[in-house]
Chains A and B, each alone.
Chain A
Amino acid sequence: MVQHNAWGRKLFIALNYSLLAAMSLVCLLPLINVLAVSFSSAAAIEGGKVTLWPVEFTTRAYTFVASKKEFLTSMGISVQRVLLGVVVNMLLTILTAYPLSKEITQLRFRTGYAWIFVFTMLFSGGLIPTYMVVREFGLIDSLWSLVLPGAVPIFNVILMLNFFRNLPKELSESAFIDGAGHWQTLWRIIVPLSMPSIATVTLFTIVGHWNEWFQGLIYMNDPIHYPLASYLQTIVVKLDMTQLNDPTALRFLSELNDRALRAAQIFLGMVPVLCVYPFLQRYFMSGIVLGSVKE
């Protein structure tokens, strides 16, 4: 009986390892396939020879993308957007989270303030009214339209305020005894102590702004103002929709090496995320757990 159990255990362990390895491969293989396509020659792609390794290696798709003005412009806009967005988001997150992390005895109307923010998580005006408001403010075609509508990320505010609240109260109390006010306490004590969670939230914000494509699509009338994500949406997704029912269009496009071109742009679009990812992974476990633990 003991023998049987030991064998069963071994079998389970072997199966478990294979199963988890298979899951990882399912996540990884599509990416590798696309990457291989982006580095393969048009003829090899058309012949269906490309699976997980480039066939007839070429970087032509990448050199073509690098010379594409729209791609480079939109990438520049994405960089600007990430910089501006992260500064605005983080500043507002910290400024909003700190007062709300105080007790009602220290901040009058705390419950009222908190509800004003939380209510926006429960109810929203919807797509069309939001669009009209952005339009009314004259933000169409402006970089601010990508930053201001989501300037206060309520979820992050809650994450930060829970973190602030779990810091030892004695620290800010001693700062007050030394004559510091709220501003000094926030910037000199609270923020430096919260660097790990601020770093986590910042990384999430960077990825969020880099990936966000819908606002660019609706708030920019002129495609010249598209950030990279929106630009990719129009070329990667729309093209394919037209060719779905039309075999002739498909043929014509693949002679232009369209699949490799799209694959190259998809890959370039996710490079920044892949670069940030290792840092994110190191932080986010602790960050998420910290934020979710409540007394």
Chain B
Amino acid sequence: MIRRNWKIELPLHFMLLPGLILVLLFCYGPMAGILIAFQNFIPVKGLFGSEWVGLDHFRYVYGLPETITVFRNTVVIASMKIVAGLIAPLITALLLNEIGKRLFKRTVQTVIYMPHFLSWVIMAGILLDVLSPTTGIVNAVLDWLGVTKVFFLGNADWFPYVLVGTDVLKEFGFGTIVYLAAITGINPALYEAAVLDGANRWKQTLHITLPGIVPIIILLLTLGLGNVLNAGFDQVFNLYSPSVYSTGDILDTYVYRIGLGNGQYGVATAVGLFKSVISFALISISYFLAYRLANYRIF
């Protein structure tokens, strides 16, 4: 029984109107602004007054030696983060699951979730202080242990690993939520049956808990695919310095520097467009895979 009645339905369309207008202006407006990538864009002349240059910016970017470095850094850092960001919370969740004392479990959860809610500005402020080669507490400990001090944020060899490590530090706790929810969803009867068959806790973890959360692992991995070009602008921007550009500069920071820093709007938009298009393809593929493999739907 489908009753279509405009009078009843109309308010729904009105409700959507403000959101639609804002999205059209601030999300679809910039998509039209992609034309800047094909122009010698000069802000005062506007989108229609600026000179068209075709694919010149893309050729220019293609010829720059930095481009390949930046692209490689982005993929390397993002991939390491995706893998580490999958494993660390998984192990933590399995360990938390073995804790019997509720109070202890809750306290640990409260503490390890917290860094997720601090911005990278705050985290960077803390990390710059703690990791400083001269005054930082980490290097003080290393010194005390007899290990040579490390200039974590100024050494290009260390920098990508510091990024991955600090990202894990900030997000591993929050990441456990998904796994803990999945573990809670496992049928308790399976454990009872396993106990009757003589399985100890370790065997139960190996043969019931882990297989029980494999779907969520696969889901997170496929969704991670969409993030291969997102190496974390907020983090890198607040932690990097010219001395680590060779291994730490990523597409987003590169776009920011050449675009808003140097005013090469056309070139920066071209690089940004390149990233958007590849990301779009990756996210589409990852959603498609997630839908096929885990029956995941966005809405």
| Residues of chain A at the chain B interface (Cβ within 8 Å) | 5, 9, 12-13, 16-17, 19-21, 23-24, 26-31, 33-34, 37, 45, 48, 51, 92, 95-96, 98-100, 102, 105-108, 113-114, 116-118, 120-135, 137, 148-152, 157-158, 161-162, 181-183, 186, 207, 211-214, 218, 229, 232-233, 236-237, 240-241, 244-245, 247, 250, 254, 259, 262-263, 265-266, 269-270, 273-274, 277, 280-281, 285, 288-289, 292, 294
**The 9 residue pairs across chains A and B that have the minimum distance between CB atoms:** A125-B30, A129-B33, A126-B272, A211-B119, A129-B30, A236-B125, A99-B12, A96-B19, A120-B27
Selected contact of B276 from candidates A24, A105, A126, A288, CB within 8 Å: A126
Q: How large is the interface on B (under 10, 10 to 19, 20 to 34, 35 or more residues)?
A: 35 or more
B65-73, B79-87, B134-142, B187-195: which lies at the interface: B134-142
Q: Is there contact, CB below 8 Å, between B95 and A263?
A: no
User: What is the chain A residue whose CB lies nearest that of B136?
Assistant: A33
Contacts of B8 in A (CB 8 A): 181-182
| Residues of chain B at the chain A interface (Cβ within 8 Å) | 2, 4, 8-9, 11-13, 15-16, 18-20, 22-34, 36, 43, 47, 92, 95-96, 98-99, 104, 107-108, 110-115, 117-119, 121-122, 124-130, 132, 134-135, 137, 140, 153-154, 169, 172-173, 177-178, 181, 200-202, 233-234, 237-238, 241, 243, 252, 255-256, 259-260, 265, 268-269, 272-273, 275-276, 279-280, 283-284, 287, 297-299
Q: Is there contact, CB below 8 Å, between A123 and B280?
A: yes
Contacts of B130 in A (CB 8 A): 30, 33-34
Q: 16 new A-B pairs (CB below 8 Å) besides A118-B299, A132-B265? A: A12-B202, A31-B126, A122-B287, A125-B31, A126-B273, A127-B272, A128-B255, A128-B272, A129-B30, A129-B31, A129-B32, A130-B33, A148-B25, A213-B234, A244-B154, A259-B129
Q: Is there contact, CB below 8 Å, between B2 and A133?
A: no
Known contacts: A244-B241, A266-B122. The answer to whether A128 contacts B298 by CB under 8 A is no
Q: Is there contact, CB below 8 Å, between B15 and A95?
A: yes
